[in-house]
């Protein structure tokens, strides 16, 4: 997995208070053949899973509303967001994680989900990869 476009990677721990924040410096080979030194702060909070719960009878989706401090800091008046059900993997596989989170967040017990895709949520600053799943459910 090593890249021939990277060398001299140095990592400095900035915080491990809640998750891990590191400062990385490295040399990167540009497409014109020159090496440039770059620096990035990288936040590592682990991977997560989210699910779109689709109510087949009502033809609606089930969402949750949660307070998110970073959005409050960035002009979200009350800090609440309407979101899909989601959570951190916490050493589970994505399917087990989202089954647990669905019961915790919306109170609905599911036993089978379909993985749709996975993506990095904010690859410029975070290591987090989200696994997105889908479940069609009858009326709740």
CA distance 108 to 130: 21
On the CB side of 125, CA atoms within 13 Å amount to: 3
Helices (H), 15-127: 69-73, 94-106
Residue 119 annotated as lining a ligand binding site? no
Residue 101 annotated as lining a ligand binding site? yes
CA distance 18 to 117: 27
Backbone angles phi, psi at 34, to 5 degrees: -95, 145
CA distance 48 to 81: 18
CA distance 76 to 65: 13
Residue 95 annotated as lining a ligand binding site? no
**Which residues fall in the annotated binding site for Mg(2+)?**
86, 101, 105
**Which residues fall in the annotated binding site?**
86, 101, 105
């Amino acid at each position: 997995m090593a890249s021939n476009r990277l060398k001299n990677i140095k990592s400095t721990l900035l915080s491990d208070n809640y998750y891990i924040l590191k400062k990385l410096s490295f040399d990167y080979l540009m497409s014109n053949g020159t090496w440039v030194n770059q620096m990035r702060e990288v936040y590592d909070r682990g991977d997560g899973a989210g699910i779109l719960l689709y109510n087949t009878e009502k033809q609606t989706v089930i969402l949750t509303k949660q307070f998110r401090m970073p959005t409050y800091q960035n002009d979200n008046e009350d800090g609440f967001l309407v979101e899909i059900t989601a959570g951190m993997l916490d050493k589970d596989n994505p399917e087990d994680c989202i089954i647990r989170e669905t019961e915790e967040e919306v109170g609905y017990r599911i036993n089978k989900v379909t993985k749709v895709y996975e993506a990095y949520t904010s690859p410029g600053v975070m290591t987090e990869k989200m696994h997105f799943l889908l479940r069609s459910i009858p009326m709740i």
